[in-house]
Structure 1
Amino acid sequence: MKRSRSVISRVLSQPAPLPSLASHLDDVRLFRHAHCRGVLSDDVFPPVLAACRFSPSLSCQVHALMVKTSANLHPVPATALLDAYSRCGLLNNALDVFDGMALRDTVAWNTLISCLVRHGLAADAVSNFRSMAEDGVAFTGFTLCSVLKACASLCAIRLGKQIHAWVIGDGDGSVIMATALIDFYSGCGMIQDAFDVFRGLNCEKDVAIYNSLISACIENRQFKEAFSILRMMKPNEVTLTCALSACSESLNLTYGKEVHCVMIRHGFDSDATLCNAVINLYAKCGEVTSGRSAFELIPRKNVVSWTSIIEAYGSHGHGIEAWKLFRKMVEEESNNVSPNAVTFLSVLSACGHSGLVNEGRECFFAMSNKYGLNPGPEHYACFIYLLGRAGRIEEAWDLYYNLSLDSNKLNSAVSIAMLNACKANMDLVRGEQVAKHLMEQDAENPGSYILLSNFYAAAGKWEKAESLRRLMRERQLKKEVGNSQFDVMCCS
């Protein structure tokens, strides 16, 4: 099996969170009962491994039993074990299982390729697809769907088009294959090819392929096309979420209101996820009052709902209202919702924009003292920004200095917040210390040079300001050009 161990080690250092095992306990209990009665056979292992794929420890235990009974030598249970290890994050175990298989059929190769794609090893997936073909193992539509995902990740247009040509020659006109091709062309930025696949599909189109095409349009910023597709179908929750995302990205309130109406008409107005997307849409388009109305109509508000409306008020300068909503969230026991790290970041940001120092301090310390959440660099940056704006440079510096002793908590965002605090309070000595930290942390970011140059200019250090600009030109660092967009409504 071809694999890149260095890349695999990097992936293994970032294990994915595991889903709950609760729904599979019955299968595990039945398996244990069969084991105690001594009635195990090869056919018993695949079902229990489907349950164990959410538990690394159980997967290892079943593997040990398979070795004891020699079930691991047979392709069907071995393939189920490979899939279980893949899904619970034990990539090396999965690859070792494949390497130890005496007989590798199409299903085993498919499972391996899918495993590599799932763990972000697209190049290894393509390499093993070629090995599969060289070994004379017949591939299926499932194989090609997995390889197309890898091609999209690698932007391997030539291989993806070769697969498309094979699909046409083989006469595979299934919706599943067409959806995979649309996702591939979309991932490579070839939206017109994605539309050609959609138009060329002769069988009945389902909601999934419409959703895929809408997502493709959104990903490639073809928002009008996304809305035109929406009008051609009966939407579901996924469709409407994609459409609302398109409206938010394009700041198109008119279409957004249309989607909101469609959502209500089809009875999705109590869906928390969709309602949260509506709040986000109205907030981005400046309609905070409409967002609040949508929030109040949610029957079961979750932490995302509360965070969305708090963020909406905070981003539009209504810090006091954002703070009141936060207090209402944590004080009303009937809500049964606890704030998370994103909630606290939204509240701190709202307090920073509105100068609510005492409220911001209460929020910052409650995060760890009351809710047991460790503040991240972004929380420290928000709090330092708040203190700096309020002229409390000593308190901001004490916090920053303590953070500088722990490199895991100090990043460029925190240093930028502290530098802005020094600039606002004309503290040149401390500002130069922060500037040194910032250049060590983010020397290739042109924004850091401009920020430091502006700091020196504000302090009257024109020579240092100019030297930074000159150094930026020598290193050919250019700040990304900003842009704005707005929707033009034409009335006739």
Structure 2
Amino acid sequence: MKRSRSVISRLVAHAAASPSPPPTDASHLDALRLFRRAHRRGAPLAADAFPPLLSACRSFPSLGRQAHALMVKSAADLDPVPATALLDVYSRCGLLRYALDVFDGMPVRDSIAWNAFISCLVRHGLPADAISAFRAMAVDGGSPFTGFTLCSVLKACASMRAVRLGKQIHARVIGDGNDSLVMATALIDFYSGCGMIQEAFDVFNRLNREKDVAIYNALISACFQNRRFKEAFSVLGLVRPNEITLTCALSACSDCLSLSYGKQVHCVMVRHGFDSDTTLCNAIVDMYAKCGELTSGRISFEQIHRKNVVSWTTMISAYGSHGRGVEAWKLFKRMQEEEISGHVSPNAVTFLSVLSACSHSGLVDEGRECLFAMQSKHGIDPGPEHYACFIYLLSGAAMLNACKANMDLKRGEQMARHLLSLDPDNPGSYVLLANFYAACGQWEGAEYLRRMMKDRGLKKEAGNSQLELPVAIEI
């Protein structure tokens, strides 16, 4: 019996193992088929057979619960190793409640189980709970902290800006003599997230070992995120950048509307031969669009050799956000024409970008055609966000403008409440209603809505005009 268990475990692990390149859905499917065949033949199930099976289930989330049921039947869920693997699968598949239930049901929790639990909470945007779990782990006492534990908690500290706890962890790292690149990278990310760029540089400069590209990326990212552009380009000149470095740099330039630095990143990208990378080219298009350089964005879009759905959607969205709905519609029609020739097809995000562009420009007929084409031609069911955008296009602005012209406050408020219930996270609806209240002399209502926007972290993306002095930096 022991031999049978060992054989099943080895076979499934071999089928699901991570080759180079990374495993595909096909390799995971092979592992699942092998496990099912062995199980149907009556081979006994042991706890060590489940971790490789669960690894394969990452590509097929619906099968994770079936594996869980088998674990319960064979009592493998009481073993911390397969239970931790199950927790990780649920976490990676977005099933937080199931992951928490698995952790709560563990009779014994080792360091690996606690690490997986804390990482799960961080992954799902629950940094305060992750920190509470870290403290509970300390009280537990039987599970010593590892470097992985501290790295996960540092991410939570950065999200919460929990500077005091982060510094305490840093002190512990120094006391333990842990000068690994992974830990140093986590500390740089923590200090960057808290806006403490000098402390991030101190971690980098005090590291007494050969630095890899990951830690350079972390420091470059920290500089860009904190608008320390000169330092970012200075560090960039010390290492050959990779796709992660440049994508981070472009994202920061987009967020800061820094066109001159964005252009320099574009030059670095071309110089190092990344101009054929579709993901980076998409980021270039987005950067130019957000900085108001639509012409440069369109040129960059046309130069992409292998356009994917993100390429098309980014350019369509760029036109829409600048109120150029006609150009967005024409580009969408061209995308559909090229689709016939075997090129990329639009997805739900593409259709939402088109509807938004039509809404901003009042293209009612085009918006109607877009919504109908989603299901009839592409088999994509419109979601609430698509209908909300279309309803806004048909009636939102027209109705409120009519109410404003007639000073009909009662009907205007009814229409506005309906719009906000359809799309509560759309800042345009709040601005539209606030302007309506202001036009009707209801200043308190207008101020209340703008406070609501601020409290919810909503911002209306407005047009901007920005002049930057060109800054030349050697790279």
Q: What band does the TM-score fall into relative to the shorter chain?
A: 0.7 to 0.9
Note if 1:210 corresponds to 2:191.
Answer: no
Please tell me whether the aligned partners of residues 54 and 87 of structure 1 are also in contact (alpha carbons under 8 angstroms).
no
Task: Return the alpha-carbon distance in structure 1 between the equivalents of residues 364 and 74 of structure 2.
Answer: 67
Deviation at 1:250, TM superposition (A): 3.1
Report the secondary structure of 1:362's partner residue: helix
Name the counterpart of 1:49.
54
Pair 1:339 & 2:339 matched: no
Q: From the superposition, tell whether residues 383 and 109 of structure 1 become closer, same or farther in structure 2 (CA, over 3 Å).
A: closer
Residue 443 of structure 2 corresponds to 469
Aligned to 1:143: 149
CA separation of 1:315/1:47 partners in 2, compared to 1, >3 Å: closer, same or farther? closer
The RMSD of aligned alpha carbons is 3.6
CA displacement at 1:186 relative to structure 2 = 2.3
CA distance in 2, matches of 1:367, 1:94: 35
Q: Which runs of 5+ in 1 are unaligned?
A: 1-18, 387-395, 398-413, 457-464
Distance change in 2, residues 1:434/1:224 (3 Å): farther
Shift of 1:202: 2.0
- Distance of 2:88 and 2:121 partners within structure 1: 11
Q: Quote the Cα distance in structure 2 between the aligned partners of 1:154 and 1:371.
A: 42
User: Structure 1 stretch 374-383 or stretch 330-339: which is displaced more?
Assistant: 374-383
Taking structure 1 as reference, are residues 78 and 345 closer, same or farther at Cα in structure 2, changes over 3 Å only? closer
Give the conservation status (yes or no) of the 8 Å contact 2:47–2:82. Answer: yes
Corresponding residue of 1:127: 132
User: Counterpart of 1:260?
Assistant: 266
Q: 2:232 aligns with which of 220, 226, 233?
A: 226
Instruction: Go from structure 1 to structure 2 and tell me whether the alpha carbon gap of 1:277 and 1:470 turns closer, same or farther (over 3 Å shift).
Output: closer
Are the aligned partners of 2:325 and 2:357 in contact in 1 as well (CA < 8 Å)?
Answer: yes
Number of residues paired by the alignment?
A: 434
The farther-off stretch of 48-57 and 476-485 is: 476-485
* Alignment correspondent of 1:487: 468
Match of 1:112 in 2: 117
Please, what TM-score do these two structures have when normalized by structure 1? 0.76
CA contact (8 A) 2:348 2:382 kept: yes
Cα distance in 2 for residues equivalent to 1:472 and 1:356:
28
Question: Pick from 412, 429, 432: which aligns with 1:434?
Answer: 412
- Flag the 1:105–1:490 CA change in 2: closer, same or farther, 3 A: closer
Which residue in the other structure is 2:85 paired with?
A: 80
What is the CA-CA distance between 1:305 and the residue it aligns to? Answer: 1.1
**TM norm structure 2:** 0.78
- Give 1:141 deviation, angstroms: 0.5
Distance 1:229 1:418, change over 3 A: farther
Once the two structures are superposed, what CA deviation does each residue of 1:101-157 show, in whole Å capped at 9, x if it has no partner?
343222222222222222333333222222222232211101111111222232222
% of aligned pairs identical? 64
- Over 3 Å counting, the alpha-carbon distance change for 1:70 and 1:309 in structure 2 is closer
Q: 1:38 Cα shift?
A: 1.7
- Work out the CA distance in 1 between the residues paired with 2:356 and 2:101: 48
AA aligned opposite 2:30? D
**Cα distance per residue 1:319-373 (max 9 Å; x no partner):** 4443322211102212532223433344345445656554344334434443344
Corresponding position of 2:13: none
Where do 5+ consecutive residues of structure 2 fail to align?
A: 1-22
Deviation at 1:240, TM superposition (A): 1.1
Map 1:18-29 → 2, pairs under 5 A? 21-29=25-33
2 CA distance for matches of 1:50 and 1:96? 19
Q: Deviations over 1:252-271 (max 9, x none)?
A: 33332332232223222222
My pick for the range that moved more, 353-362 or 132-141, is: 353-362
Question: Quick one: structure 1 residues 272 and 177, their matched pair in 2 at CA, closer, same or farther if it must change by over 3 Å?
Answer: same
Separation in structure 2 between the aligned mates of residue 422 and residue 90 of structure 1, nearest angstrom? 46
Q: Which residue of 2 aligns with 1:461?
A: none
Alpha carbons 2:437, 2:446 under 8 Å: kept: no
Asked if residue 239 in structure 1 is aligned to residue 245 in structure 2, the reply is yes
The answer on whether the counterparts of 2:400 and 2:412 sit within 8 Å (CA) in structure 1 is no
Pick closer, same or farther for the CA change 1:359–1:240 going to 2, 3 Å. Answer: same
> In terms of mean alpha carbon deviation, does 232-241 or 107-116 score higher?
107-116
Q: RCO higher in 1 or 2 (8 Å CA, sep ≥ 6)?
A: 2
CA distance in 1, matches of 2:223, 2:398: 40
In structure 2, distance between residues paired with 1:159 and 1:151: 7
- Contact 1:280 1:312 survives alignment (8 Å): yes
Aligned-pair distance for 1:280?
A: 1.7
Q: Match for 2:63: what amino acid?
A: L
